[in-house]
Chain A
Amino acid sequence: MISLSCCSNLEQLDIDPNKEKIVLVGNPNVGKSIFFNYLTETYVSVSNYPGTTLDISTGNFEEYIVLDTPGVYGVSSFNDEEKVARDIILSGDIIINIVDAVHLERDLFLTQQLIDMGKKVIVALNMMDEAEHRGLNIDIDQLEERLGVKVIPTVAIKKKGLAKIADSIEQAQKGKISLDKDIQTKLDQLEDEIDNRADSLLILEGDQYVAAVHDKQAFELREDIYQKRRNHVNKIVEEIISKEERDNSIGDKIGSMLLRPITGIPILLVILYALYQFIGVFVAQTLVGITEEMIMIDIYQPFIINLVSRFIAPGSLLGKILIGEFGVLTMTITYIFGLLLPLVAEFYFFLALLEDSGYMPRIAALVDRGLNYLGLNGRAIIPMLLGFGCVTMATVTTRLLGSKREKIIAIFLLGLAIPCSAQLGVIAGLIAPLGLDYFIIYVVTIFALYAITGTFLNKVLPGDSSDLLIDLPPIRMPEIKNVLQKTYLKSKYFIFEAGPIFALGAVGITLMKEFKILDWIKNAVAPLVVGWLQLPKDATEAFVMGIIRRDFGAAGLSSMALTNDQTLVALIVLTLFVPCIAAMLVMIKEQGIKQAAMVWLGSWVAAFAVGGIVALFI
């Protein structure tokens, strides 16, 4: 029996309930996706797991359904990844557990937990080449004997052993458990009551969610069970591994260079500079020049305007909404596909490279100290970097932060001072011709405000932030197929998330223009924009557009005749300005209307105050 609420989300993934499920489980970065791709070559579907940003791949292998899971260190409910993995594992009939032969002590904990849950398991002992290279001899027969399940050595990236895994699925079986008598008795009792062995174990381990599903109180035996499992695993590892001393591999050497501040910080700066060159110069200018101007404006727009004009008068209200200056079919489509998509896609590509190479956690360790001043720990670098891609999406990933306090700080900083890639592209295009001194003033101003805001929030918000505790995976060559798949999924998510809101915003602007609301706003805020920021009255139009999307506003500026000083001030104001509507909606969802409103109002104040001060001084 599978509990209802634990799998109600799973049902939304649209899988045949009559088929047996094979679930792929493993720690992060063990090469699970290669196994998945191998087994499911013919038909794969990827769907968002409801309520999370996580995508779950499902496919078919012979008469089975195969499900992938996010990489986890154990089955429990500490974060979104774990909750999703937990649901899928609980629903699985056969588990293929992929373990990293070099990190057996860490990985076998999960293996043993799966076995303790009473699941039918096959273990794929992956990265055997690396283990050999490091002089690790693993007694596979003994490991099989101790775990009580089949263990198959593999080198997934070279496709070694994969066929054997596919042939051995039928041989998956329940293994030897690590629990002591006392816990075993409790487990049997609970299993009698709820008729589900795996759920029973998780309830004993204190999993509140699974307990609630069965109307039970969670036990508080987690530490006891974990400690015994850990001791058990350590003993197994001791028995099966013998080591020969070898030199460190090249990956290890790179790994420690990336961490040692004296080499690590320069490398990080070089990578960020390369990223800037790539996004800000190559993609934002060269590539977007092709996609936006040549394809969208020169070819697509005349085509669509011509087509729509046959049925709807361009001068009518509907005509303006569809194909006018801010038309849904003209401007919106052009911005999304011509401007934003190339920027966002290559940013996600770059990020996927950082992630899959194992570099990301090392960046987190390097910047931990700096982020501590802002009440965050190094882990927050992940949403911050993601924010340079799309603030909306980054806001959702703040969930991985340890405490509510950290989430508030991160969301505030994201909303206030992190320009998204689309905006960054436009900003880079506008600021590059002004010269280095303008660029420096811009960067220093934004950075200073970022630091001041973070420090301030860290002081005034009650409570403590959590500390960094992060596993550093070995440095490895990223699997390009995997990187491309991640890029594709994130870009798709971006279009579906931002696209409709963007279109709605465009309609709003057209209506405001049509009914002269825009003129009214321009006059109303003229003292602020003209008097205080020393900008022309028309700049208000860009700011109003910026409420809908910030890059939208920045793009609006590019068509205005501004002096260098005015451009700088306008860009600073727009960068600090309110988060776009999509980001606001996510903030409301994540943190409630009160905090979202605070971020929104705070951004107004900060943007105009700082912009005015800069205008006074330059």
Chain B
Amino acid sequence: MTLADVKRGNNFKVKNIPDDMIRIQTLRMGISEGSNLNCNEKIPGGPIIVKHNYQEIAIGRSLAEDIEIELHPEGSD
């Protein structure tokens, strides 16, 4: 599944960020393939806000559709 499919409160793991530049940028902000994240907010039709500890990042919807993730079995907060 992709990042665009998560719901608010979901915990998930990032599997694959295909775009090179995006991968570099998220690496610097603290997120990489393998990071465990939480979906903090999902703006209808708009960006997904992910949270990692206290770090929040807004990711545009179509970019989110390209990022592969895996939901954690324990599910939501």
For residue A205, which residue of chain B has the nearest CB? Answer: B24
Contact residues in B for A256 (Cβ distance below 8 Å): 40-41
Pick from B32, B58, B62: contact of A364, CB under 8 Å: B58
Contact residues in A for B52 (Cβ distance below 8 Å): 105
Pick from A103, A369, A469, A474: contact of B46, CB under 8 Å: A369
Pick from B20, B32, B46: contact of A227, CB under 8 Å: B32
For residue B62, which residue of chain A has the nearest CB? Answer: A467
CA distance A226 to B17 in the complex (A): 15
The smallest beta-carbon distance between A571 and chain B, in angstroms, is 33
Do A366 and B56 contact each other (CB < 8 Å), given the known contacts A106-B30, A222-B24, A259-B41? no
Are A472 and B57 closer than 8 Å at their CB atoms?
Answer: yes
Do A469 and B26 contact each other (CB < 8 Å), given the known contacts A259-B43, A369-B43, A377-B60? yes
Chain B interface: which size bin? Answer: 20 to 34
Are A378 and B60 closer than 8 Å at their CB atoms?
Answer: yes
Cβ < 8 Å to A, chain B residues 9-51:
20, 22-30, 32, 40-41, 43-47, 49
Are B55 and A368 closer than 8 Å at their CB atoms?
Answer: no
Pick from B43, B55, B58, B59: contact of A103, CB under 8 Å: B55
A73 at the interface (CB under 8 A from B): yes
Contact residues in B for A223 (Cβ distance below 8 Å): 20, 23-24, 27
The smallest beta-carbon distance between B66 and chain A, in angstroms, is 9
The smallest beta-carbon distance between A223 and chain B, in angstroms, is 6
For residue B33, which residue of chain A has the nearest CB? Answer: A227
Are A366 and B41 closer than 8 Å at their CB atoms?
Answer: no
A102 at the interface (CB under 8 A from B): yes
A-B contact count (CB 8 A): 106
Contact residues in A for B25 (Cβ distance below 8 Å): 73, 78, 469
The smallest beta-carbon distance between B3 and chain A, in angstroms, is 11
Contact residues in B for A74 (Cβ distance below 8 Å): 28
Interface of A is mostly: helix
Contact residues in B for A471 (Cβ distance below 8 Å): 29, 55-57
A134 at the interface (CB under 8 A from B): yes
Are A134 and B54 closer than 8 Å at their CB atoms?
Answer: yes
Pick from B30, B58, B61: contact of A472, CB under 8 Å: B58
Cβ < 8 Å to B, chain A residues 223-257:
223, 226-227, 230, 255-256
The smallest beta-carbon distance between A269 and chain B, in angstroms, is 16
Are B55 and A365 closer than 8 Å at their CB atoms?
Answer: no
A261 at the interface (CB under 8 A from B): yes
For residue B66, which residue of chain A has the nearest CB? Answer: A467
For residue A222, which residue of chain B has the nearest CB? Answer: B24
Contact residues in A for B27 (Cβ distance below 8 Å): 109, 223, 226-227, 230
Are B47 and A365 closer than 8 Å at their CB atoms?
Answer: yes
Are A260 and B41 closer than 8 Å at their CB atoms?
Answer: yes
CA distance A119 to B72 in the complex (A): 41
CA distance A364 to B60 in the complex (A): 10
CA distance A259 to B40 in the complex (A): 10
A434 at the interface (CB under 8 A from B): no
Are B55 and A106 closer than 8 Å at their CB atoms?
Answer: yes
A470 at the interface (CB under 8 A from B): yes
For residue A248, which residue of chain B has the nearest CB? Answer: B54
CA distance A372 to B63 in the complex (A): 12
Contact residues in A for B41 (Cβ distance below 8 Å): 256, 259-260
Are A73 and B58 closer than 8 Å at their CB atoms?
Answer: no
CA distance A227 to B20 in the complex (A): 12
- Can you name 18 A-B pairs with beta carbons within 8 Å? A103-B54, A105-B30, A109-B30, A223-B24, A226-B27, A226-B28, A365-B47, A365-B49, A368-B43, A368-B46, A368-B60, A369-B44, A369-B45, A372-B61, A377-B60, A469-B26, A471-B55, A471-B57
* Partner-A contacts on B (CB < 8 A): 20, 22-30, 32, 40-41, 43-47, 49, 52-63
Question: Ordered nearest first, which 5 A-B pairs have the shortest CB separation?
Answer: A468-B60, A467-B63, A467-B60, A369-B46, A365-B58
